[in-house]
C-alpha cells in the first residue's frame, strides 16, 4: 500500500471508520475516500477539514445496503484497498429489540462491498467484525478456532450471525477467487466520536454520559444538563424542555434524584467481565495489517504445515481441491486484558467525579458472563495495543466534555 494508493474507508464517519481515517492521515496517506450514510456528517468533518482542503480525503454519501449504488461506487472509483468499517451497531438493548434491522442491514452492506471488491479487482480488503461471533459460554480467553462450537448469546445473535457470514464470505472468496481479504474481530471498542445515545450506546459511553448527567443533577447544575441535552437530545427531549420532562427522561434511563441523593442504575449484577480496546489502537492494528499482512501470511500461522505456501505454487484454491479444510482464518484484535462491569463503573464514576450512588439491577440482563480475546495471532504478526482502559476512559471523558 503506497502513500498515494486509492483507499476506501466504508463507514468513515463512525467510531471505527473515523479512527482508521485518522490513522491513515497520520501515516501520510493522501488518496482516501470515505463513505458515510448519515445526512449530517459535519461533526466528523471538523477534525478532517485541513485534509479535505489539501485533497487528501474526500467524503461520499452512499447507502451501502443499496446494491446498485454500491456497484456504481466500485465501478467508477475502483479503489485498491478497502477498510469495511460500515455497520449497524448498538448495545444490548438495541441489538435485542431491533433484531431484523441488525441482521438485514449488516448482511446487505457486507455482501455488496465484499462482492464488488472482488468483481472490480481490489488489491486487498479488511473486514471488521466483532468478538460477539463467539459462543455465549465460550472457553476463555476466546481463540479464533472456537468459532461455531456452541450457541451464541441470544441478545445479539442476529448481529453475530451477520458478522460470521462476513468473515466466511471473505474466507470463501479468498479460497475460490484468490482474493486477498482479511477479517478482524475487534473486542469491545470505545473512543472519540463514540455513540452516546442512551438508547443505543455501548457500555462505556452509556455509563460515562449517565454519570456526567448524574453529576450535573447532583450539583444542581441545570446549565450543564441543558447543554448536554441540546447537543444530544434523549428521545426528543432537549435543553429547552421543562425541568419535569428532563427529570422524567433522566429517570427513565436510570438517573434518579431522591431526597437530595442522586443514583445511577446499571443493568445487571456488575459481575460479567469485559475487554475494551481504544478505537485508535484498533485503527493502528488495521493499517498495520493492511500494509504488512496478506491472507497467505495468516494461513501460515493457522496452519504451520503450510508455512511455505507464499513461496510455493500450491494456492489456497488448490489446497481446497486437494481436500484440505481451511477455516477460522480471522484474527482477534484486543488487549487480552479484562475488567468487571462493576469495576469499570467505579472507574468511570471516579473519572467523571460523580459522588452519588451506583445501583446494579440484577433484574436486567448481564449478557455473556466473561468475554476476553486470545490475542496470540495478532501478537505473532507483530502488533500490540498501547492504551490501557484507565487511560482511555480519561481521554474519552476529556473529549466528551469538550464536545458537549
Residues 34 and 40: their CA atoms lie apart, in Å, by 14
Residues 191 and 329: their CA atoms lie apart, in Å, by 27
Strand order in the sheet with 339-340: 339-340, 273-274, 370-371
Strand partners, 277: 189
Q: Per the residue annotation, which of 134, 159, 173, 192 is the catalytic one?
A: 159
Residue 154 is among the residues annotated as catalytic for this protein? no
From 338, 57, 70, 78, select the one nearest 188 (Cα to Cα): 338
Residues 189 and 217: their CA atoms lie apart, in Å, by 28
Query: What is residue 20's DSSP assignment?
Result: H
DSSP string, 332-347: EES-S--EEHHHHHHH
Residues 246 and 254: their CA atoms lie apart, in Å, by 13
Is the sign of the CA dihedral 67, 179, 4, 52 positive or negative?
A: positive
CA distances from 346 to 84, 250, 251, 338, 341 (A): 34, 20, 20, 15, 9
In degrees rounded to 5, what are phi and psi of residue 40? -130, 70
Q: How many CA atoms lie within 13 A of 123 on its CB side?
A: 13
Strand partners, 61: 36
Question: Does residue 329 come out as left (phi exceeding 0), alpha (psi in the -120 to 50 range) or beta?
Answer: alpha
Grid coordinates given for 44: 466528523
Residues 266 and 95: their CA atoms lie apart, in Å, by 17
The catalytic residues are 159
Amino acid at each position: 500500500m503506497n502513500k498515494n494508493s486509492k483507499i476506501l474507508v466504508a463507514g468513515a464517519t463512525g467510531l471505527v471508520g473515523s479512527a482508521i481515517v485518522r490513522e491513515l492521515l497520520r501515516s501520510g496517506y493522501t488518496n482516501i475516500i470515505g463513505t458515510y450514510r448519515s445526512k449530517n456528517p459535519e461533526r466528523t468533518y471538523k477534525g478532517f477539514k485541513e485534509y479535505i482542503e489539501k485533497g487528501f480525503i474526500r467524503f461520499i454519501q452512499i447507502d451501502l445496503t443499496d446494491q446498485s449504488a454500491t456497484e456504481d461506487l466500485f465501478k467508477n472509483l475502483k479503489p485498491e484497498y478497502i477498510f469495511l468499517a460500515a455497520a449497524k451497531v448498538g448495545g444490548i438493548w438495541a441489538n435485542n429489540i431491533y433484531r431484523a434491522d441488525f441482521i438485514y442491514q449488516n448482511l446487505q452492506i457486507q455482501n455488496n462491498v465484499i462482492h464488488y471488491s472482488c468483481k472490480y479487482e481490489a488489491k486487498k480488503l479488511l473486514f471488521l467484525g466483532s468478538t460477539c461471533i463467539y459462543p455465549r459460554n465460550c472457553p476463555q480467553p476466546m481463540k479464533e478456532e472456537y468459532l461455531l462450537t456452541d450457541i451464541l448469546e441470544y441478545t445479539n445473535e442476529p448481529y453475530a450471525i451477520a458478522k460470521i457470514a462476513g468473515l466466511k464470505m471473505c474466507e470463501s472468496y479468498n479460497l475460490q477467487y484468490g482474493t486477498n481479504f482479511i477479517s478482524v474481530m475487534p473486542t469491545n471498542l470505545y473512543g472519540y466520536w463514540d455513540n452516546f445515545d442512551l438508547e443505543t450506546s455501548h457500555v462505556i459511553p452509556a455509563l460515562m454520559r449517565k454519570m456526567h448527567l448524574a453529576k450535573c443533577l447532583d450539583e444542581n447544575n441545570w446549565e450543564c444538563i441543558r447543554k448536554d441535552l441540546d447537543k444530544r437530545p434523549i428521545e426528543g427531549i432537549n435543553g429547552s424542555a421543562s425541568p419535569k420532562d428532563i427529570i422524567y427522561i433522566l429517570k427513565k434511563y436510570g438517573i434518579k434524584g431522591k431526597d437530595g441523593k442522586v443514583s445511577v442504575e446499571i443493568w445487571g449484577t456488575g459481575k460479567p467481565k469485559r475487554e475494551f480496546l481504544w478505537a485508535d489502537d484498533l485503527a493502528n492494528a488495521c493499517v498495520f495489517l493492511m500494509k504488512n499482512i496478506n491472507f497467505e501470511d495468516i494461513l501460515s500461522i493457522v496452519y504451520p504445515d503450510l508455512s511455505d505456501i507464499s513461496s510455493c505454487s500450491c494456492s489456497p484454491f488448490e489446497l481446497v481441491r486437494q481436500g484440505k479444510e481451511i477455516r477460522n482464518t480471522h484474527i482477534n484484535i484486543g488487549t487480552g486484558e479484562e475488567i468487571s462491569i462493576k469495576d469499570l463503573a467505579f472507574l468511570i464514576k471516579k473519572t467523571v467525579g460523580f459522588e452519588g450512588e451506583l445501583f446494579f439491577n440484577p433484574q436486567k440482563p448481564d449478557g455473556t458472563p466473561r468475554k476476553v480475546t486470545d490475542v496470540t495471532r495478532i501478537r505473532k504478526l507483530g502488533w500490540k495495543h498501547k492504551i490501557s482502559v484507565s487511560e482511555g476512559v480519561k481521554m474519552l471523558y476529556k473529549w466528551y466534555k469538550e464536545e458537549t
